Amino acid sequence: MSTDSRACKRPLRRVHSPRNDRAAVRACVIQLNSQDNVGANLERVRTRVEQAASLGAALITLPENFAFVGTEDEKRQVAESIAKPGPIVQALLELAKCHRVHIVAGGFPEQSGDAQRPYNCSLLVGPEGIVAAYRKIHLFDVSLPDGTVLQESKATRAGSEPVVASVDGVCVGMTVCYDLRFPELFRKLLDGGARIVTVPAAFTLTTGKDHWHVLLRARAIENQVYILAPAQHGKHPLGRQTNGKSIVIDPWGDVIAQVSEGEGIAVTDLDFTYQDRVRASLPCLSHRRI
């Protein structure tokens, strides 16, 4: 299997931006503490995207639930159609166009045809509009040791298709939060040509403190990809508490940028020449037998 992923390959559904192969891209992860007020959350998003763009970031990532964290009934009410953008999608489109950047907008409620169960959608937008949409495949249904019970499938419809999209000639694989625990999805994205995989999340404090960075580094190492993992941090409505620790990891598994406590951003350069050297010096991807 070739490790040359400069062109997104055929197996997956893909949507392309204009072709322009690049040796590097400046990327950003944004860490938020989103609440149940969409308007206020979007203002915080605007502030952070403007900050990232001012530092030269061309690929900016937002965490899961960037626009809303609250009750399931309220979530259903704020769900939007991509075909007919509401306040959430419109704000993303305006930011991408204004700052001439690409934004991976974590997860937000997208109308699915089932009024009770919107998708958890990660939307990739650029200066020219919507590039790709990924609907979260793996839904988080768990009872945690601290007594927290989460049943995402009760109010969320699962997606079914892995997505790799081209951003200026660089293939970006898209996931959301709990997808991180399923390495087979990351292999699918790798087979689709991914050089970068985005993992927007709202990892719980209980699981995040033990598993978040370990799993992210594992996915980066085994697939020799850059990982961009923007996360929610702190206390949210309904007693939810998230881990934060937004991070960028390189194809060797080294942490090259991280956000500290609270809201903030981390900006760093992703060097694809270095990625090629990693893949050439340790050609495990070409040694696959299964």
Catalytic residue annotation? 64, 136, 177
Contact assessment for residue 110 and residue 133, using Cβ atoms and an 8 Å cutoff: yes
- The number of beta carbons lying within 10 Å of the beta carbon of residue 210 is 10
User: Pick from 278, 157, 193, 178: which is nearest to 229 by CA?
Assistant: 178
Burial class (CB in 10 A: 0-12, 13-18, 19+), 64: buried
Q: How far is CA 149 from CA 61, 154, 206, 280, 284, in A?
A: 28, 12, 12, 45, 39
Residue 230 to residue 174: CA distance in whole angstroms: 12
- DSSP letter at 175 equals -
Is residue 79 classed as helix, strand or coil in its secondary structure?
Answer: coil
Contact assessment for residue 60 and residue 50, using Cβ atoms and an 8 Å cutoff: no
User: Strand (E) positions, 87-198?
Assistant: 102-110, 119-126, 129-135, 141-143, 149-151, 163-167, 170-174, 196-198
User: Strand (E) positions, 65-118?
Assistant: 102-110
Residue 163 to residue 177: CA distance in whole angstroms: 15
